[in-house]
């Protein structure tokens, strides 16, 4: 008889801060409540739980009876709590001081709410960099779990991953458990007997520990899983089979590490799970990477050689998506301001806002990841804006600042007053790429350019792939939530900024306006181009953009991409002459218009556009194509406002945006 294998079973429980209430309640109804109700009936089935701080608070407010059940499961020794960053940041991309703050805050929260302080931690998206070790160690964390793939990339063989290993960084020590990819893919998608067999065979191979740690949302929220896991009793059958098996012993990570010794020292390379390493690549490189992987699979050597085929690293998302990089660098800048203010300990609201701005979901995109979801980016920006507003009252910054904040090679100019802040990248376009309205707590320039994605290739397939052993994993599904055409996937030649100008000539040619570097005056910012001057001015809650032409006779065009939180939902209104024309999701064309109003229920306010002369106005919704575990879909990113007029020598055009916070009474 072989020695029993210890099943170390863990689930990770997280929802992005700022997620829709209906999504949260759906997740609770389809997953969180039935999962813990099921596990409650099997007190001898021990498991680890990681829950992010924002989600735990939400559950405590909305469903206190479920949080009380979890606390009782902790008290009776069934649940081992894992810590981590409070608002689920990728620890490797936030400053050391914020790592300590995030880790300590969640440990405090778990101890207060669930009655125990963690000594293990979950790493967001299993993003590993050795630099996170000191902060974890100093925060009282002794171990974490990352993919077995991480260990394979360090040169270890899969057969040697029969326990935990130890690493160190700068004198700080941390123990590492290898999560089994095979178990991640089988649980809960294969028949329970096959998943149990995968665990038990490890005992025959003299493996001491079978490590599973993955998203709890697989148990009810992912497509097809609710009926499979609860309707067809997959979870009950799995648990009962595990508990009845003579060669499987269910253990806590903490108990296992106390009774068994480390397998030795290991140093892991910077990496995440295999799929993430593909998602971080550009379309061209991801296509090539995927082709290489498929070729290796067909040749039968992929499972052997996959440690040497690694793709990219998580930080590549900042290189791939300038919008993500900008959010990240804005966060870093405000983190430094918080530190210099010396108010972190005396003003906990500053810390909370900073933590929220570090929530990982809005910074990346793959099968998961919410960069493409406007409401998740909005949470990051609203936190940054609220934080900046508070810091401005404590130690105001100059009303005009210049720096290359995002390290892209272009200086950015910030021009602001107590109510408005505009950011202009000095790349020659003189257009706004961040427009913050402090009273509304919103960045109206928060949109996303359309760029090629690797999954566009998948959309050429039709239907869904299935599994003969269970249900299809989202990694294998190809499904469409709505009709998508090739026109929806055309890449943008320019960033989706506001007040991006062009001139149309009599020969039908269109020429983007390129401006000389900014000049400063009493009126604000001044840009000069051939035959054209452009001025930005902010006063109270009004942004004024003025154009002066000389000598010239052309059609002038400017485009605004406005991030309206209602998107194509029912809360948006386009109003002209006190008449509601429709929502933001519909196209509208207006000739000789002197102004219009954009009302937004979600924003809690309105934007009045006023023109010094009648302009031709075109309003169109801008969409990007995104993927998720539920399928491919189009997501509205912005309302594109195109303004046109004929101009002659010595003429001028002035455009005003007036921002108002008000109860719309819907």
DSSP assignment of 38-83: HHHT-TT--EEEEE-HHHHHHHHHH-HHHHHHHHHHHHTTSEEEEE
For residues 367 and 630, give the distance between their C-alpha atoms in angstroms, rounded to a whole number. 9
What sign does the dihedral 608-609-613-616 (CA atoms) show? negative
Whether residue 560 is contained in a domain is answered as yes
Q: pLDDT digit string (tens) for 482-514?
A: 678 888 899 999 999 999 999 999 888 999 999
Whether residue 30 is contained in a domain is answered as yes
Whether residue 412 is contained in a domain is answered as no
Which residue, 279, 302, 335, sits at the end of a domain?
A: 279
Q: Which CATH number covers residue 184?
A: 3.20.110.20
Whether residue 453 is contained in a domain is answered as no
Residue tagged active-site, from 57, 138, 169, 215:
215
The b/e string for 599-627 (b: 16+ C-beta within 10 A; e otherwise) is bbbbbbbbbbbebbeebbbbbbbbbbbbb
Q: 179, 120, 191: which is closest to 148 by C-alpha?
A: 179
Whether residue 324 is contained in a domain is answered as no
Which residue, 232, 264, 279, sits at the end of a domain?
A: 279
Give the Å distances, CA to CA, from 389 to 280, 424, 439, 539.
Answer: 33, 19, 9, 17
Please report the pLDDT score of residue 465 as a whole number: 41
Please report the pLDDT score of residue 344 as a whole number: 82
Q: Which CATH number covers residue 578?
A: 2.70.98.10
Number of separate domains in the chain: 2
DSSP for residue 160: G
Domain of 14 in residue numbering reads as 5-279
Q: Write out residues in the chain with pLDDT < 50, as ranges.
A: 463-468, 475, 666
Rg, C-alpha atoms of the chain: 27
Whether residue 459 is contained in a domain is answered as no
Whether residue 642 is contained in a domain is answered as yes
| Whether this model's pTM surpasses 0.85 | yes
Please report the pLDDT score of residue 469 as a whole number: 60
Which residue, 227, 258, 279, sits at the end of a domain?
A: 279
Please report the pLDDT score of residue 463 as a whole number: 41
Please report the pLDDT score of residue 508 as a whole number: 85
Residue tagged active-site, from 80, 86, 98, 125:
125
Q: Are 142 and 106 in contact (CB under 8 A)?
A: no
Whether residue 644 is contained in a domain is answered as yes
C-alpha triplet 173, 87, 366: angle, nearest 5°:
90
Is 125 part of the annotated catalytic residue set? yes
Q: pLDDT digit string (tens) for 268-302?
A: 999 999 889 999 999 999 999 999 999 999 999 99
Length of the chain: 666
Q: pLDDT digit string (tens) for 323-341?
A: 999 999 999 999 999 999 8
Please report the pLDDT score of residue 303 as a whole number: 87
For residues 156 and 91, give the distance between their C-alpha atoms in angstroms, rounded to a whole number. 25
């Amino acid at each position: 008889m072989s020695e029993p294998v210890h099943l170390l079973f863990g689930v990770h429980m997280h929802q992005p801060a700022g997620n829709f209430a209906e999504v949260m309640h759906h997740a609770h109804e389809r997953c969180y409540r039935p999962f813990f109700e099921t596990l409650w009936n099997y007190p001898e089935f021990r498991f680890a739980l990681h829950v992010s701080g924002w989600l735990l608070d939400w559950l405590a407010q909305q469903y206190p009876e479920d949080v009380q059940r979890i606390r009782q499961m902790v008290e009776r020794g069934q649940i081992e709590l894992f810590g981590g960053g409070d608002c689920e940041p990728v620890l490797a991309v936030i400053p050391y001081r914020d790592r300590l703050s995030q880790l300590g805050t969640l440990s405090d929260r778990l101890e207060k709410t669930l009655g125990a302080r963690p000594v293990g931690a979950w790493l967001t998206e299993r993003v590993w960099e050795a630099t996170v070790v000191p902060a974890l160690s100093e925060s009282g964390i002794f171990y974490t779990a990352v993919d077995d793939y991480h260990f394979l990339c360090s040169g270890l063989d899969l057969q040697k991953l029969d326990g935990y290993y130890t690493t160190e960084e700068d004198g700080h020590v941390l123990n590492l458990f290898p999560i089994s990819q095979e178990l991640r893919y089988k649980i809960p998608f294969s028949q329970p007997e096959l998943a149990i067999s995968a665990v038990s065979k490890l005992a025959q191979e003299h493996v001491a520990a079978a490590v599973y740690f993955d998203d709890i949302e697989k148990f009810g929220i992912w497509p097809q899983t609710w009926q499979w896991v609860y309707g067809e009793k997959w979870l009950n059958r799995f648990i009962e089979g595990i508990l009845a098996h003579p060669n499987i012993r269910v253990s806590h990570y903490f108990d296992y590490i106390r009774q068994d010794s480390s397998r030795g020292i290991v140093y892991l390379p910077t990496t995440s799970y295999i799929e993430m390493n593909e998602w971080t690549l550009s379309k061209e490189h991801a296509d090539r990477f995927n082709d290489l992987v498929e070729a290796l699979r067909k040749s039968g050597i992929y499972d052997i050689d996959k440690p040497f085929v690694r793709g990219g690293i998580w930080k590549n998302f900042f290189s791939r998506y300038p919008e993500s990089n900008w959010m990240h660098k804005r966060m870093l800048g405000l983190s430094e301001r918080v530190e210099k203010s010396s108010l972190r300990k005396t003003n906990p609201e500053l810390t909370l806002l900073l933590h929220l701005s570090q929530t990982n979901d809005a910074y990346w995109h793959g099968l998961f990841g919410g960069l493409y979801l406007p409401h998740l980016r909005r949470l990051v920006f609203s936190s940054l804006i609220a934080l900046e507003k508070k810091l401005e009252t404590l130690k105001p910054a100059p009303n005009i600042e210049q720096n290359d904040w995002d390290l892209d090679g272009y200086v950015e100019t910030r021009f602001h007053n107590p109510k408005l802040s505009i950011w202009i990248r000095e790349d020659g376009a003189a257009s706004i790429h961040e427009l913050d309205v402090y009273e509304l707590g919103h960045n109206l320039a928060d949109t996303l350019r359309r760029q090629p994605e690797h999954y566009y290739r998948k959309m050429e397939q039709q239907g869904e792939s299935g599994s003969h052993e269970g249900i299809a994993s989202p990694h294998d599904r190809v499904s469409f939530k709505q009709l998508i055409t090739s026109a929806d996937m055309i890449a943008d030649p320019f960033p989706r900024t506001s007040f991006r100008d062009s001139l149309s000539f009599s020969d039908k040619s269109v020429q983007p306006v390129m401006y000389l570097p900014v000049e400063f005056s009493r009126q604000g910012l001044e840009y000069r181009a051939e035959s054209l001057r452009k001025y930005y001015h902010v006063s109270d809650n009004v942004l004024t953009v003025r154009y002066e032409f000389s000598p010239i006779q052309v059609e002038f065009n400017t485009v605004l991409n406005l991030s309206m939180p209602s998107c194509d939902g029912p809360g948006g209104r386009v109003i002209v002459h006190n008449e509601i024309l429709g929502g933001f999701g519909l196209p509208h064309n207006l000739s000789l218009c002197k102004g219009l109003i954009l009302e937004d229920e979600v924003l809690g306010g309105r934007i009045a556009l006023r023109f010094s002369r009648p302009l031709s106005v075109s309003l169109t919704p801008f969409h990007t194509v995104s993927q998720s575990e539920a399928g491919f879909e189009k997501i509205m990113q912005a309302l594109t406002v195109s303004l046109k007029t004929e101009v002659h020598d010595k003429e001028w055009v002035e455009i005003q945006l007036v921002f108002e916070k008000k109860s719309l009474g819907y």
